[in-house]
Structure 1
Amino acid sequence: MASEKLYLYPIWIRIWHWLNAVLFITLLITGVSMQYSNPENPLLVSFELSVELHNLCGILISLNYLLFIFGNAFTSNGRQYKMKTEGLMTRIFNQSIYYLFGMFKKQDAPYPISAENKFNPMQRFIYSTAMYVGFPLIIASGMAMLLPEMIIPQIFGLSGLLLTAMLHVVIGFVLSLFLFIHLYVCTIGSSISSNFKSMITGWH
């Protein structure tokens, strides 16, 4: 079957995507460095530099997130994140079976990529959850720790700062898992590098 060449990623999406990737990976490295190292024995990056880079990249990724929100609000890309709830679990199950078995048997994808649907049902659910739930939570908790006077001192008898920090770390861990799964799924294409090239050229 002949493949169709689709222009799925306009320039603003590619700019947002690569900025987001660089900033998130920097936040991941500096966050791990702050969490598990001490000033005398830095893990990946020195503690002082980690704090400065983490704060700076946190502000930049928040501004970059606004590009994502406005871009989806005023372009057709926003419809890619809208889900029909009816039959959603069935569609996700079908896609799971394809990822687990079908693609290794060279079966056709149950939900092929098109201009109208560049995400399969599983991708749409996970990407929507990450971008519209995970990112707002990690940005809000990060900004709160950057400006701790905004945090309620006590929440249900516990330190508001501690709960905010725990939320930030947990959401960061979950989004890090998303990153690694995303990178793996990107290798599932006509070649290992084809999906990465698409995010450079815009063409799938």
Structure 2
Amino acid sequence: MANDKIYLYPIWIRIWHWLNAVLFITLMITGISMQYSNPENPLLVSFELSVQLHNLCGILISINYLLFFIGNLFTSNGKQYKMKTKGLFTRLYEQSIFYLFGMFKKQDAPYPISVENKFNPLQRFIYATAMYVGFPIIIVSGLALFFPEIIIPQIFGISGILVTALLHSVIGFILSLFLFIHLYVCTIGSSISSNFKSMITGWH
């Protein structure tokens, strides 16, 4: 079975995935530049250019996310993000133990990839949380900062803009951690590059 190929990623998923990656990395770089630099001493990208790129990529990634959401509603890809609550913690524990110890001992994965389940339980839990909780929050908070007049002036006695900006930054940081973890997990395959090639060809 090790040499069998499975077609996991249709063309629309691959295009969405790479576009999302480029836009998110650009948002991460420009976000860091805006947060930790000033107009006289730019960190990674000049402040003015960072603002322009961040706004543009924010709009584009929101549209891209909407296409992802619609695609999951009308294709079988949506079921990959559905989780069964019964036995969930057991499955998460088993997969975590495999990542921590089992794979280094060359043990078989407890939940091998198939057409029906392209994500293992831990991946499914993290990806579903990122895509259906993290992304909506960062998009809504980003749109609110883009149109600050719609933000509630005071939230628990604190500036509404400040709370929204903090929420946007915190979720952005968490999703950035997700990106780095995602890249690491992608190197866990038959070879370091095999999972990256799968997202180019569609074949696992």
TM-score by length of 1: 0.99
Tell me the residue number matched to 2:46: 46
Tell me the residue number matched to 1:80: 80
How far apart are 1:36 and its partner, in Å? 0.2
What is the rounded CA distance, in whole Å, between the counterparts of 1:130 and 1:66 in structure 2? Answer: 14
What is the rounded CA distance, in whole Å, between the counterparts of 1:50 and 1:188 in structure 2? Answer: 34
What is the rounded CA distance, in whole Å, between the counterparts of 1:102 and 1:96 in structure 2? Answer: 9
What is the rounded CA distance, in whole Å, between the counterparts of 2:134 and 2:111 in structure 1? Answer: 25
How far apart are 1:55 and its partner, in Å? 0.1
What is the rounded CA distance, in whole Å, between the counterparts of 1:118 and 1:154 in structure 2? Answer: 44
What is the rounded CA distance, in whole Å, between the counterparts of 2:2 and 2:139 in structure 1? Answer: 43
What is the rounded CA distance, in whole Å, between the counterparts of 1:100 and 1:132 in structure 2? Answer: 26
How far apart are 1:67 and its partner, in Å? 1.0
What is the rounded CA distance, in whole Å, between the counterparts of 2:163 and 2:155 in structure 1? Answer: 8
Deviations 1:136-187 (A, max 9, x none): 0000000000000010001111100000000000000000000000000000
Give 3-state SS (helix, strand or coil) of 1:44's partner. coil
Tell me the residue number matched to 1:27: 27
Deviations 1:82-104 (A, max 9, x none): 00001101100000100011000
How far apart are 1:194 and its partner, in Å? 0.2
What is the rounded CA distance, in whole Å, between the counterparts of 1:85 and 1:163 in structure 2? Answer: 33
Structural RMSD (CA)? 0.6
What is the rounded CA distance, in whole Å, between the counterparts of 1:41 and 1:149 in structure 2? Answer: 30
* Aligned: 1:163 with 2:163: yes
4+ runs of 1 displaced by more than 6 Å?
A: none
Tell me the residue number matched to 2:142: 142
How many residues end up aligned between the 2 structures?
204
What is the rounded CA distance, in whole Å, between the counterparts of 2:61 and 2:39 in structure 1? Answer: 26
Tell me the residue number matched to 1:194: 194
Give the aligned residue type for 1:75.
T
5+ long unaligned stretches in structure 1: none
How far apart are 1:196 and its partner, in Å? 0.2
* Aligned: 1:100 with 2:111: no
What is the rounded CA distance, in whole Å, between the counterparts of 1:2 and 1:79 in structure 2? Answer: 25
Give the aligned residue type for 2:47.
F
Give 3-state SS (helix, strand or coil) of 1:53's partner. helix
What is the rounded CA distance, in whole Å, between the counterparts of 2:90 and 2:3 in structure 1? Answer: 27
What is the rounded CA distance, in whole Å, between the counterparts of 2:26 and 2:150 in structure 1? Answer: 25
